[in-house]
Amino acid sequence: MPGDRLENAAELLLAATGATGRLAVLATGSSLWLWLPVPTAPRSDELNAAFATVTSVHVAVGHPRPGLDGFRQTPLEAATVQRMMARLATSRRAGTYADTQLVALLSHDVAEADRFIDDTLGDLVHADPDLALTLRTYLDEQCNAAHVAERLHTHRNTVVRRLTRCDELLPRPITDDPVGIGAALHLLAWRGARGTDQP
């Protein structure tokens, strides 16, 4: 029953965020909107871990904002995340506005986003997904290989080898365009149909 499925997902979201209360509105038969009194939203990877075994629900989270303006803005942001997830056909169960705002902006034209990914990442698109994950994490961690090794639970030397391989596969060196490469990697991570979407 859809109502039970949505209620179970709502309880799981409360547990994942640590929220003690909620305001819920059944928007449609298959969509439940929640407002939670939390100071910060969890990260998308945390939500995906929490919802890993829930296959029939997608969760889109707006940025927590105070007051009446926040009450209005937050669900609009969640709707942006929801549309982006549908547009990119991602297999991820959850996304937050804070983690996906750039991807949502860059993916309005999926064909153009795919061209940007291919042009920017070259052969890395079709390589071992661990390479793209390592490079994306490296750029997110301000190019600190030790932090990447810790986050990915791998040895620093493995990280360095993977980054060297990434540089070989990219059309131009990482240092030439770290911002563009990072944006393309985030798009690739959410692009479900390409087969490399990962947390």
- pLDDT tens, 130-182? 999 999 999 999 999 999 999 999 999 999 999 999 999 999 999 999 999 99
Tokens 């910060």 correspond to 40
> Is 107 within 8 Å of 84 (Cβ atoms)?
yes
Residue 133 CB partners (closer than 8 Å, separation 6+): 152, 189, 198
Structure tokens at 183: 């944006």
Per DSSP, the residues of 138-171 read HHHTTT-HHHHHHHHTS-HHHHHHHHHHHHHHSS
User: How much is the average pLDDT of 54-67?
Assistant: 91
Tokens 């986003």 correspond to 113
Structure tokens at 87: 């547009």
pLDDT tier at 192 (50, 70, 90 boundaries)? low
Structure tokens at 66: 């105070």
**DSSP-assigned letter for residue 136:** H
Q: Which pTM value belongs to this model?
A: 0.84
Residue 1 has pLDDT above 60, yes or no: no
Q: What is the pLDDT at residue 2? A: 60
Tokens 């994942």 correspond to 16
Chain CA centroid to CA 48, Å: 9
Per DSSP, the residues of 43-99 read PHHHHHHHTTT--S--EEEPPP--HHHHHHHHHHHHHHHHHHHHHTT---SEEEHHH
Question: What are the structural domains, with CATH classification, of the chain?
Answer: 2-106 (no CATH), 110-194 (1.10.10.2840)
Strands 31-35 and 59-61: unpaired
